[in-house]
Structure 1
């Protein structure tokens, strides 16, 4: 059995060596360089001819949007302004809660976990008191949708997971009074105008 395995291994080694030894005999034709050709680029051997190439970044092209009326254009411009206003907050929440989840996964101590949640809650509240409290009702509604877009969970779900169901219920009750809904979800189809604004905004470049 050992001899059989050694025999098979020898065949594999010899086959590999033979494959490496098969060097192309086709003469390689290098491109003619000009005096200004000083940038090194990659190249591909295509049947003996070296073809230089460089990778290009993906370019997204968006068609110019046409509006039925000046009122529609103004409404879209207002929506774009509001989305651009709150998108940084949604991205901040995404990064902060993803960091919280990584930190919670590294410890099983309840005391330490509560400390991490409290610190995250404090940072979110500081941002709220500093900037988010100045948002309009419409901007707040868009923000709750974008948080669901970025985290895949509604604001209500996040509060429930970190602070408990009672706190989430109280927050939702207060939010409803001022015209918000922490359970708002995001749909790329239903919110296609918001989606098109985000895709063309450059936030993910």
Structure 2
């Protein structure tokens, strides 16, 4: 039963990989019991400035597009991480593997009914960002989460299918190494401080001051 709870993500991303991934949607409507503005509001993009460092990281329009995508998918990664914690606590109370499998199946069916149709509406790029944010919030790649619960073969098959849509389930979130990940972290930090997104601590520490200094030095 090691890492049994990670089966949640086997479904969560498999639905994204195997579903029909659409072109970037202009507007979408998502309903979720978790209160989060990114799930209930139409996103109104505002003027965006990175006010630390005298250099340009990305074209403003591209930055706004990335911001829109992050706003769209971050709540999924947040909710999924919360469900993992909840599931883990409940599974620890169950005594036998049979009880745990039965309980998990019930939760998996609920998650499928709740999220499958919404995940299928994500664009390829949104799917790529979701995979990164799942790693940010859980500390595990989506590939490893599927492998831990389903099987190595299921993870392999899921990875091959996802790659058809240009999604790599092994992708890690690396804001100190990957410029896009750094920009995502800037967007998240700003959204949290403005109350635009509900903050959930990542699975690993991210020092924003050190991150900004790292990229500022790299641009000199």
**Structure 1 length as normaliser, TM-score?**
0.63
Cα separation, 1, equivalents of 2:138 and 2:114? 18
Using the alignment, how far apart are the partners of 1:121 and 1:151 within structure 2? 18
Q: Identify the structure with the greater strand proportion.
A: 1
* Number of residue pairs aligned between Structure 1 and Structure 2: 143
**Partners of 1:76 and 1:67 in 2: how far apart?**
14
The whole-number CA distance in structure 1 between the counterparts of 2:111 and 2:169 is 15
Counterpart position of 1:140: 127
Once superposed, what is the RMSD of the aligned Cα atoms?
A: 2.3
Aligned to 2:190: 200
The residue that corresponds to 2:110 in the other structure is 123
- Larger RCO of the pair (alpha carbons < 8 Å, separation 6+): 2
CA distance in 2, matches of 1:171, 1:93: 19
1:129-186 per-residue CA deviation (whole Å, 9 max, x = no partner) reads 2211100000000000000000001111222222222222222121111111111110
The TM-score, its normalising length taken from structure 2, stands at 0.59
Question: Could you tell me how far 1:67 is from its partner in structure 2?
Answer: 6.9
Task: Write the deviation string for residues 50-101 of structure 1: whole angstroms up to 9, x where unpaired.
Answer: xxxxxxxxxxxx96377759x7001100000000000010011101111121
Counterpart for residue 218 of structure 2: none
SS, match of residue 140 in structure 2: coil
Q: Where does the alignment leave 5 or more consecutive residues of structure 2 unmatched? A: 1-48, 193-197, 201-220
Unaligned 5+ runs, structure 1: 1-61
2:143 alignment partner, one of 132, 139, 156: 156
